[in-house]
Amino acid sequence: MALKGLDIFKLSPKKNCKECGSPTCMAFSMKVAQGAVSVDACPYFSEDAKAQLNEATAPPMKTVKIGAGENEMTLGGETVLFRHEKTFVNKTRYAVSVCSCMDDAEIDAKLAAVPKVDYERIGERMFVEMIYVNYDAASGKDKYLELVKKAAAVGRVLILGCDDADVAKEAVALVKDAKPVLNGANASNYEAMNAVATGAGIALGVQGKDINELYDTVAALEKLGNKNLLIDAGSNSIKDAFATAVQFRKAAIKDGDRTCGYPSIVRACCLAKGNAHLQAALASLFTMKYGSIVVLEQLGYAEALPLYGLRQNLFTDPQKPMKVEPGIYPLNGADENSICVTTVDFALTYFVVSGELERSGVPLNLIINDAGGLSVLTSWAAGKFSAGTIEKFFKEQDIEGKIKSRKLVIPGKVAVLKGELEAKLPGWEIIIAPNEAVQLVKFMKDLTA
């Protein structure tokens, strides 16, 4: 998308007046191209040219902000199709749906279940971030407005699923400060819905009976000047929803079609047709392929544990390894007399090693060193996991004060540290573990047998 200096120069006034601080218009254009100065520094750049420039330098996919205060989150803004190309920037968010067609008991039960899933995984809070409030025309407006109020009280970002602009207007008015999403613009109501959404300054979800109608409606809304949009992948079929999510993302990123460049909403709850396991599969599928918001019928721990783990993995920066918090992790009911095992804070190492150690059933204290989030051999090579750093870490954390055992198991790959560690940690017996984590179960059992 980057515009070259020469392209900008063509749009410039070519007066060389120096008022912008650059010696010539050419020099100024080069700086703009690098992002060093804003085009606004030039008083003579025509509005037309500026608009053209902004259009050309805008990212291929819009970043849409929803929610307010501490609930605010950003969607979209992606620049690649695959995570190895760069990074996925804004993670998929999950919503649980309620509908005004449900009876009160069901609604209460579902809303009460929302806050139950709330835990931390490698420094990230995992919880149900949104509630999708669906409007059922047959149950009437009043019931819907009551439901919106009730859902708002849970304290999550709301998505108001409503295609009746009059009802939507009243519903939005109730919660507009919390910046909900309004989902339900389509080919027949988009003008009225647009007025509701823009009036409240909230994002508008667009639907269509097929991908062409969807595309045309988005284009029509853009013509009305609204670019605060979300794409609803639809509820016709799993195949169509997948095709819409993928094709819009591809067209936006690869072919530069701005009309496709909006975050998406996938209503897996409708696509799964009551099959909870299929819904779990869909949640995973659309986390992989381009869902910005995935709406589910329910999201308990069973669905959430793998799903949030998957999301955390997918949306990591490939250039930045995931780290776990250094410290002492007692496993299998360990106490201060249990044997110590140490390794690095690279998340993958931690998960593999702690998983095998848990399987061994041997009570032990897993001591995670601060090794910059690198793997065992990499951190050792970089000098971040050596006898010196381990000794320093033991002092900082007061390991000797906290743990009475004086047996320390070190990774087999850094067996060379044994001698030096024995010198630096007097009184400790240093034991060398096998090279591979899978061998740990047997090793630990034999060691403590």
Partner 1 sequence: MPFTAKSGKFNAKINAVTMGTGDKAITIGGENVLPFYTFDEAIENAPKVGIEITDGGMEAEPECIQKCYEGCASVVDMAKKAATFEGVDFLSIRLEGGDPNGKNKSTEELIALVNDVAAAVDLPLVVCGCKNVEKDAELLDKAAAALAGKNAVILAAKEENYKTVGASAGLAYKQVVGAESAVDINLAKQLNVLLTQLGVSGQSVVMNVGTASAGYGFEYVVSTMDRVKAAALSQSDATLQMPIITPVASEVWNVKEAAASEADMPEWGNQEERGVDMEIETAAAVLAAGSNAVILRHPESVKTISTLVKELV
Distance (Å, whole) CA 412 – CA 427: 21
Q: What track of x and - describes contact with partner 1 for positions 410 through 439 (by CB under 8 A)?
A: ----------------------------xx
Site string for partner 1, 56-95 (x = CB under 8 A): --------------------------xxx-----------
Q: What is the token pair recorded at 257?
A: 């079609």
Tell me the C-alpha distance between 321 and 345, whole Å. Answer: 10
Q: What is the C-alpha to C-alpha distance for residues 266 and 179, in angstroms, rounded to an integer?
A: 19
Q: How far is the CB of 227 from partner 1 (least distance, A)?
A: 18
Distance in Å, CB of 248 to partner 1, minimum: 8
Query: Residue 224 or 416: which CB sits closer to partner 1?
Result: 224
User: Which one among 9, 132, 215, 380 touches partner 1, defined by CB under 8 A?
Assistant: 215
3-state class (DSSP) for residue 397: coil
Residue 316: count of CB within 10 angstroms of its CB: 17
Distance (Å, rounded) from C-alpha 211 to C-alpha 260?
11
Given 199, 201, 355, 419, the residue binding partner 1 (CB under 8 A): 355
> Measured in whole angstroms, how far is the alpha carbon of residue 112 from the centre of its chain?
24
Q: Binding mask 8-47 vs partner 1 (x if CB under 8 A, - otherwise)?
A: ----------------------------------------
Cβ distance to partner 1 smaller for residue 44 or 119: 119
Q: Decide whether 9 or 350 has the Cβ nearer to partner 1.
A: 350
CB of 300 to partner 1, least distance (A): 6
For position 242 contacting partner 1 by CB under 8 A, the verdict is yes
Q: Are 211 and 188 in contact (CB under 8 A)?
A: no
Provide the sign of the torsion angle of the four alpha carbons 193, 195, 199, 201, taken in this order: positive
Contact at 8 Å (CB) between 160 and 133?
yes
Binding mask 301-340 for partner 1 (x = CB under 8 A): xxx-xxxxxx-xxx-x-x----------------------
**Burial degree of 289 (CB within 10 A; 0-12, 13-18, 19+):** middle
Q: Token pair for residue 104? A: 């009160």
* Shorter beta-carbon distance to partner 1: residue 83 or 392: 83
Question: Between the CA atoms of 285, 286, 287 and 288, what dihedral angle is there, to the nearest 10 degrees?
Answer: 60
Reduced to 3 states, what is the DSSP secondary structure of residue 342?
A: strand
Alpha-carbon Rg for the chain in angstroms:
28
Q: Which is nearer to partner 1, 228 or 375 (CB)?
A: 375
Question: Integer distance in angstroms from the first to the last C-alpha of the chain?
Answer: 63
The footprint of partner 1 on residues 264-303 (CB under 8 A) is: 275, 277-278, 280-285, 287-289, 300-303
Residue that has been written with the tokens 């010539």 in this structure: 24
Q: Which residues from 113-142 bind partner 1, rule CB under 8 A?
A: 116, 121
- By CB under 8 A, the residues from 147 to 206 that bind partner 1 are none
- Residues near partner 1 (CB under 8 A): 82-84, 116, 121, 211-212, 214-216, 219, 237-239, 242-243, 246-247, 250-251, 254-255, 260, 275, 277-278, 280-285, 287-289, 300-303, 305-310, 312-314, 316, 318, 347-348, 351-352, 355, 358-359, 438-439, 442
